[in-house]
Structure 1
Amino acid sequence: MQRYFVSDDQVKNDRLIIQGDDYHHIVRVMRMEKGSELICVLPSNKAVLCKIEQITNEHVIVRVVKWIDEQTELPIQIYIAHGLPKGDKLEFVIQKGTELGASSFIPFVAARSIVKWDAKKANKKLERWKKIAKEAAEQSHRGKIPDVHAPMTIHELIEFAKTVDYRVFAYEEEAKQGNHQTLAAVFQQMKRGHSLLAVFGPEGGFSDEEVELFKHHGFFSCSLGPRILRTETAPLYLLAVASYQFELQ
């Protein structure tokens, strides 16, 4: 069943008013009619089964049928920080990372980022990233849409790190040296409700200066197994491991 996220200003007692892109998707893409059912997710992360009561030229008005009890969020919060990669790799990470349960995505300008952040195109780019996260959250039946931040500098990222419980960065030298225990040890320490900031470099990895900066500020360097993963694969590996650790055991 189709799922749509709504804001507080769309809620009118036991009715919800849907407009904009979601209106277009309901009416033009899905071709729903009066009486069709869909799921709406409120800002409180609660889901409700709704039935379409009226379709106008600009709005779909739905009535709440019943509340739905579901648990689709990871028990821990994982923030994915990613050095700006080439092409559409970050879009891929946001889409698949949302499906796997990430709480937030934080692009940052790394020393070896080939892509340069264009401030003139910033709003349009950020809007696209947020749309990708929203659509992926709907598709995967998430209870919330992950936040997507505007790109930070590495020093802004370090400052943000002070707000989370645990901090790691994926470092290929750990894999080369066969040190594979750190990530498992961090997950074993974490409890439900804890937060983790996981940092991944761009295609060229981290500079020596970045590695020292992370370590100086309490980040643990970790491998992601014995194989060297692509920059867009690494965050998904970590999220999959977290799901196994906290949801499947």
Structure 2
Amino acid sequence: MQRYFLEMPFAEDGCATITGEDEKHITRVMRMREGEEICCVYEGVGHIATIHRMDENGVTVQDTGTISSHSELPVQVTLACGLPKGDKLELIAQKGTELGMSGIIPFQAERSIVKWDEKKGDKKTARLRKIAKEAAEQSHRTVIPEITEPLTFKEMLKQAKAFDVCLFADEEEAKEGASKKIAVRLEKVYHGQSILVLFGPEGGLSRAEAKTLTDAGFLPVSLGPRILRTETAPLYVLSAMSYEFE
């Protein structure tokens, strides 16, 4: 069943109108007709609705009163990603959404080769948000992950204070075969908590950054004996959390 996120709630009569890109997708891409059912999500709840009318004002749907099944991770996982090269952040946004992440905080790391172009930044962020929205619809999510504007390292540390648990992937831990395995770290994480997991860009985090994170209350975590790419590590962590909590 096709899924769409509503910008406004259902009215008192149980109707809602879909416009814009979602309307075009319903009418031109999917070629749906009146009487067909779709899932309309508003504020984290998926409502099964019937297409009632299609005209110049948009696609009007009628709530059937049936709620779709819950599909969110029992923990809220936000990824803090050091700005990577190319389209890697787009891959993380898409696949991370499919795997249940709650959001992405891009930040300028010491070893980030890419410098965020402020003139084009708004378009890049808008594209990432569009990718996350489409991936949320495809994977039957009830929440679209939040994609923030890129932050400095210091700004990211301030944001981290709002989370219950803060971890950072440290390749030095993997090289040394340390005992700080992700399974051990997740033993003290509970349902309903918010988790921030930080990843460095290509080349990883500098030792100065790692020390600053530790001083700020972040816990280092090893992702195994193999060194993962910057776009692979977040997906590994999300998969591990899905296994642990679901």
Shorter chain as denominator, the TM-score bin is over 0.9
1:171-186 residue pairs with structure 2 within 5 A? Answer: 171-186=170-185
TM-score by length of 1: 0.96
Task: Give, as a single letter, the amino acid of the residue that structure 2 aligns with 1:29.
Answer: V
Shift of 1:122: 1.5
* Correspondence for 1:163: 162
1:98-177 residue pairs with structure 2 within 5 A? Answer: 98-177=97-176
* Correspondence for 1:216: 215
* Correspondence for 1:5: 5
Contact 1:74–1:246 (CA<8 Å) still a contact in 2?
yes
Distance across 2 between alignment mates of 1:35 and 1:180: 57
* Correspondence for 1:57: 56
Where structure 1 has 5 or more consecutive residues not aligned to the other structure, the ranges are none
Distance across 1 between alignment mates of 2:123 and 2:149: 11
* Correspondence for 1:72: 71
Shift of 1:180: 4.3
Further displaced range: 209-218 or 89-98: 209-218
Where structure 2 has 5 or more consecutive residues not aligned to the other structure, the ranges are none
* Correspondence for 2:19: 19
Contact 2:10–2:63 (CA<8 Å) still a contact in 1?
no
Shift of 1:67: 2.2
- The percentage of counterpart residues that share the same residue type is 50
Shift of 1:243: 0.3
Distance across 1 between alignment mates of 2:62 and 2:70: 23
Distance across 1 between alignment mates of 2:238 and 2:75: 11
Runs of at least 4 residues off by over 6 Å: none
Task: Give, as a single letter, the amino acid of the residue that structure 2 aligns with 1:162.
Answer: K
Further displaced range: 238-247 or 186-195: 186-195
* Correspondence for 1:199: 198
* Correspondence for 2:31: 31
1:221-236 residue pairs with structure 2 within 5 A? Answer: 221-236=220-235
Distance across 2 between alignment mates of 1:38 and 1:189: 39
